[in-house]
A and B are shown apart, each in its own frame.
Chain A
């Protein structure tokens, strides 16, 4: 394993080796720019193509054609000339385009002339009663274990929530011989009507046929309960039961494993800590960066591509990666841009890839009760702060997420708000009668992933660095 980057500076540094990052790094490197691709995982692929170079699942149709499509991009980046470092955690990025990287317990810095953030998405928090119990996980967590280790549920298992990933995961678990006892669909009925005007665009998108085929496969083997509300997990020290309301009836089912999913949202921590402007997206109900059509952010020299730019899916992420990289090439080496496909081609491909997205966003818009909890339900998993704790803090004067830190330490644990930030914003907005945009978000700062003080202290220093802090 390498312990540092080969160079101190690069034309382009791409952060994240999912669809957008792989496409961006390949495009930049093929145009002849010195390119570094940094990724936190052990291999390329991001979440969608996780473990694509190492998965033990050898039956190709078990993971599906969309998964294996990633192999081509991995091959392309490997022959592109881009330098790739895995297990590299980027913990800092500043306006000078200096990047702090932790690798194998030691940190180093690299400089870039352009940075493309492709840090992707994470699953939207699903704060229901009991969601911190052992045995409650995200659907994405189960899919990660399935792809990278060939692990599938074998005890009593309930999947709850909504969205395309939920059905894909269920189909994959069944193909691999795993167990699912019940699927609890939380899609609100009114969403079907709201989504109807966008149905035509969706029906002409590639997602339509695939989505319905998956749902049919799953429904043939697993009981599906629709219109689920008041979902709760319970147990003493570990998950024992899942309770829900459907059609006016309350049901409790035994479960060893509950997999939750209500869509994905941009992973904003690194971008926000860099000072990149974000706005509240009223349709996708999350923070999205303010970008121009090439993916450039409010910070000079930094672009964002992929789901971190607003959720668009893997196909759109690939194209956005190519657009951001081509824009970087145009800026740094205009003559080399001629080697690449014209920008107009990419823009056309993006329109096609994004077709039907509004339909999915509207249909699978999570219900308020699953986004804005109440009472003793934990909001901040790290510091174990409940919805009631937060409302109490609002009642005595906490005005927004940053003041709330002083009252309750929300967002100050190791996850740095990734699992509570959206909930805190929406909860406080509701309590104070304001919009999420007015309430705002945590002020994020580097290091965006925890590193030890020893690691920070061991970073190589120049004489100037030392003189700046040494007394007399």
Chain B
């Protein structure tokens, strides 16, 4: 869906998405890294389980909700990636305690 520009010379940052290693770039938000990864990163909504991807990428739509380092319902579009960050794609409702 998206490709990286040849001009992009930022350093690589490695994150883990549902157990798999994914290469991101320093300064990417979690959502940008997920969309650039080419993986199926659709979440399932809490209400009907419908598949969704980020819509606005600027912090207003909440369709980018994702579990980051064990904390659920984070806005992936507002959180920059960090080395070793653990990402889980949310399927359905957030669980109690995370």
Contact = CB atoms under 8 A, between A and B. Distances in A.
Contacts, number: 138
Contact of A381 (B27, B53, B63): B63
Interface stretch (A135-143, A283-291, A340-348): A135-143
A238 B1 CA distance: 12
B85 to A, nearest CB: 14
A2 B67 CA distance: 23
How would you classify the secondary structure of chain A's contact residues: helix, strand, loop or mixed? loop
A133 B50 CA distance: 9
Interface of A: 40-42, 47, 51, 54, 56-59, 62, 87, 89, 105, 122-123, 132-138, 140-142, 144-145, 148-155, 176-178, 237-238, 256-257, 267, 381-384, 413-415, 418-419, 450
B2 A56 contact: no
Nearest to A146: B5
A150 B58 contact: no
Interface residues of B, number: 42
Given A56-B25, A123-B56, A149-B4, A413 B42 contact: no
Enumerate the 3 nearest inter-chain pairs by beta-carbon distance, A residue then B residue, closest first: A150-B5, A141-B57, A134-B53
Interface string B73-93: 100011010000000000000
Contacts of A134: 42, 51-53
B7 A59 contact: yes
Contacts of B52: 132, 134
B78 A418 contact: no
A132 B50 contact: yes
B78 A267 contact: no
B39 interface: no
A135 B27 contact: no
A144 B60 contact: no
Contact of B56 (A41, A141, A384): A141
Given A151-B35, A382-B47, 12 more contacts: A57-B8, A137-B56, A138-B55, A144-B58, A145-B35, A149-B25, A176-B5, A381-B63, A382-B62, A384-B45, A384-B50, A414-B62
